């Protein structure tokens, strides 16, 4: 089987992005390509066409090679929920909540299962692009690592090691990683990629030569640091932290997202980063906001979004103990626009109850009380893609009737009374829905933003481009970046000849 695996010297070195770029190149070169990651730990999931839950990295990799994302591209997904517990999802289906210790004990039994899953999967493709997780040389848990070299062994895949030069220490990270590998593992490594380089690459030519002299493995390329509008995989991305300032301007639309401790599915907000004249910021409950009640001329956000959460009761408890609770209620009292997505929808309700800590925290807690609903957490997880038509015409949502919405749901909570047509609106300025992907509807979002702009007194119209078209253009940019900076001839030799 023709394949290649990308592993990294650490987390966040760019494995997912480089893998996606290679996927795009191989697809453009005429190959049928399949992305694969044996195990992922992420709060940022996606629901495929058949209701299977998977990590976002393999979603954008699948999109890069024009495939329908399927959960078996990421057969094991762990979603941390706090207190050393995670949701265990296998082939897209929620199995149970599991502790770190119990999951480690389960891993030996997963090796044969992964072998079967992969062998069945690879038959459908010319080339499989595999991605590792974290570092392949966490020596205290190496025997239980099914994400890196064990998966390379199962797939009999050659490995390319990726290192991030932007964080510093790139030579030590590459040499150290290789030195901690067994002889058999090191023999699989056929090349190294230096990622996130800033400056003139000519100045680093000597560094490449010195590194190759030490490791006796070719450096396939040095990839420049470039900002791309491609969805991040794990946790809250760097740009989230960079945009956390309370920088509200009167000549723009200011959208604030509540940065919950267990915030999930933050890709709901990626589309905002492609809209000219819109300022997106993330706010922590602990800090509160000066002028938060200030709609329009008072300096506050023009829209507040409460996102999904992997521990909604835990996040609600913290919110109730913070100054933000009263500020949000005051903001709502003044007519501020608030939208809650999934866990955020539950937070807008009267109460949340979880008798068995199914979602991370046990007990009952008061919500914000802005919607006349309450939530009870159940053992069975509800997942699926959804399509519906927005049919309300009031307040900020005037003129949006008929907007087509496509997205997905993934939640353990059951909210009563149930939402009408997948959402609830109160007083024309508070909306709750279980639908992730609400803002990806250009028709809905452009109408909403223009209603906000009109209320704020801005004369400009806000144009929202089709998000799928935006992503396609970004995948092409990524492919060009990778092709122009990585020796693809050597990559092809690694794939087809297993060596250079």
Q: Which residues are catalytic?
A: 342, 436
Query: Is residue 25 pLDDT above 50, yes or no?
Result: yes
* Domain boundary residue, one of 185, 200, 230: 230
CA quadruple 45, 19, 273, 264: dihedral, nearest 10: 20
Per-residue pLDDT at 1: 83
Query: Any alpha helices (H) in 357-466, and if so which ranges?
Result: 442-456
The total number of structural domains in the chain stands at: 2
CA distance 142 to 391: 54
Last residue of one domain, picked from the residues 193, 214, 230: 230
Q: What is the pLDDT of residue 235?
A: 46
Highest mean pLDDT among 40-44, 85-89, 177-181: 177-181
Instruction: Return the pLDDT at 176.
Output: 98
User: Where are the strands (E) in 180-258, listed by range?
Assistant: 189-197, 219-224, 253-258
pLDDT at position 216 over 50 = yes
Contact (CB, 8 A) for 47 and 91: no
Three-state secondary structure call for residue 7:
strand
| 244 pLDDT more than 50 | no
The answer to the question of residue 485 being in a domain is no
206 and 97 both lie in a single domain = yes
CA-based angle 359:363:369, to the nearest 5?
90
Burial readout 68-91 (b: 16 or more C-beta within 10 A, e: otherwise): ebbbbbbbbbbbbbbeebbbbbbb
**What kind and span of H or E run contains 2?**
strand 2-8
Which CATH number do you get for residue 299?
Answer: 3.40.50.880
Of the candidates 230, 249, 264, which is a domain's last residue? 230
Instruction: Please tell me whether residues 225 and 244 are part of one structural domain.
Output: no
Q: Is residue 415 part of a domain?
A: yes
What's the pLDDT at 404? 94
Instruction: Give the tens place of pLDDT for each residue, 437-461.
Output: 999 999 999 999 999 999 999 988 8
pLDDT score of 420 more than 90: no
Burial 235-270 (b: 16+ CB within 10 A, else e): bbbebbeebbebebeeebbbbbbbbbebbbbbbbbb
E strand map for 265-317: 278-283, 303-306, 308-309
Q: What are phi and psi of 150, to 5 degrees?
A: -65, -40
Neighbours of 396 (CB within 10 A): 26
Query: What is the pLDDT, as a whole number, of residue 295?
Result: 46
Question: 252: domain range?
Answer: 238-468
Mean pLDDT (whole number) for 64-82: 95
Same domain for 223 and 287? Answer: no
Q: 254 in a domain, yes or no?
A: yes
Output the pLDDT for position 242.
42
- 367 neighbors 390 (Cβ within 8 angstroms): no
**Do 88 and 172 share a structural domain?**
yes
More confidently predicted of 249 and 216: 216
For 114, the enclosing helix (H) or strand (E) is helix 100-122
For residues 291 and 355, membership in a common domain is answered with yes
State the average pLDDT over residues 325-341: 94
Residue 140 falls inside a structural domain: yes
Pair (455, 316) in one structural domain: yes
**In-domain check, residue 497:** no
Same domain as 96, residue 192: yes
Structural domain includes residue 476 = no
CATH code for position 16:
3.40.50.300
Residues 217 and 322 in one domain: no
* 294 & 171 share domain: no
Report the C-alpha gap between 288 and 295 in whole angstroms.
Answer: 16
User: What are φ and ψ of residue 47, in 5° steps?
Assistant: -110, 120
Same domain, 179 and 34: yes
Whether residue 251 is contained in a domain is answered as yes
Answer whether residue 296 shows pLDDT above 50. Answer: no
Task: State residue 337's pLDDT score.
Answer: 96
Strand, coil or helix: what is 276?
coil
Rounded mean pLDDT, 457-482: 93
Q: Does residue 488 lie in a domain region?
A: no
Measure the CA–CA gap between 318 and 286, rounded to whole angstroms. Answer: 8
pLDDT in tens, 92-148: 999 999 999 999 999 999 999 999 999 999 999 999 999 999 999 999 988 889 999
Question: For residues 155 and 184, is the Cβ–Cβ distance under 8 A?
Answer: no
Shared-domain flag, residues 384 and 449: yes
pLDDT tens for 161-215 read 999 999 999 999 999 999 999 999 999 999 999 999 999 999 999 999 999 999 9
Residue 259 sits in the same domain as residue 206: no
């Amino acid at each position: 089987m023709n394949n290649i695996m990308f592993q990294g010297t650490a987390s966040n070195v760019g494995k997912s992005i480089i893998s996606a770029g290679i996927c795009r190149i191989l697809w453009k070169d005429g190959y049928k390509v399949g992305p694969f990651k044996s195990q992922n730990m992420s709060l940022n999931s996606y629901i495929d066409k058949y209701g299977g839950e998977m990590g976002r990295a393999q979603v954008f990799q699948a999109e890069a090679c024009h495939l329908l994302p399927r959960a078996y591209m990421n057969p094991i997904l762990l979603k941390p929920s706090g207190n050393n517990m995670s949701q265990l999802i296998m082939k897209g289906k929620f199995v149970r909540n599991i502790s770190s210790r119990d999951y480690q004990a389960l891993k030996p039994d997963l090796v044969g299962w992964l072998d079967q899953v992969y062998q069945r999967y690879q038959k459908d493709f010319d080339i499989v692009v595999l991605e590792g997780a974290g570092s392949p040389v966490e020596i205290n848990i190496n025997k239980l690592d099914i994400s890196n070299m064990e998966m390379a062994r199962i797939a009999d895949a050659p490995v390319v090691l990726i290192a991030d030069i932007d964080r510093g220490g790139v030579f030590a990270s590459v040499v150290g990683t290789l030195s901690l590998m067994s002889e058999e593992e090191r023999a699989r490594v056929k090349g190294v990629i230096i990622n996130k380089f800033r400056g003139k690459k000519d100045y680093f030519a000597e560094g490449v030569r010195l590194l190759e002299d030490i490791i006796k493995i070719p450096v396939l390329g040095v990839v420049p640091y470039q900002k791309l509008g491609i969805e991040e995989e794990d946790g809250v991305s760097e740009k989230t932290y960079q945009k956390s300032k309370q920088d509200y301007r009167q000549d723009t639309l200011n959208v604030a997202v509540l940065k919950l401790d267990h915030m999930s599915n933050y890709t709901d907000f990626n589309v905002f980063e492609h809209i000219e004249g819109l300022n997106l910021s993330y706010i922590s409950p602990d800090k509160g906001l000066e002028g938060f009640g200030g709609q329009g001329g008072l300096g506050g956000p023009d829209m507040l979004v409460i996102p999904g959460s992997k521990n909604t009761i835990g996040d609600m408890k913290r919110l109730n103990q913070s100054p933000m609770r009263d500020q949000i209620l005051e903001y709502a009292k003044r007519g501020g626009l608030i939208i809650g997505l999934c866990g955020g929808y539950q937070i807008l309700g009267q109460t949340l109850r979880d008798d068995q800590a199914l979602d991370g925290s046990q007990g009952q807690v008061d919500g914000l009380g802005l919607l006349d609903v309450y939530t009870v957490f159940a053992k069975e997880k509800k997942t699926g893609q959804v399509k519906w038509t927005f049919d309300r015409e009031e307040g900020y949502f005037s003129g949006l009737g008929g907007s087509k919405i496509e997205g997905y749901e993934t939640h353990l909570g059951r909210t009563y009374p149930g939402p009408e047509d997948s959402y609830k609106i109160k007083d024309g300025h508070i909306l709750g829905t279980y639908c992730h992907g609400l803002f990806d509807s250009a028709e809905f979002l452009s109408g909403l933003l223009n209603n906000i702009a009109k209320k704020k007194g801005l004369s400009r119209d806000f144009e929202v481009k089709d998000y799928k078209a935006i992503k396609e253009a970004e995948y092409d940019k990524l492919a060009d970046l990778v092709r122009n900076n990585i020796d693809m001839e050597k990559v092809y030799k690694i794939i087809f000849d297993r060596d250079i």
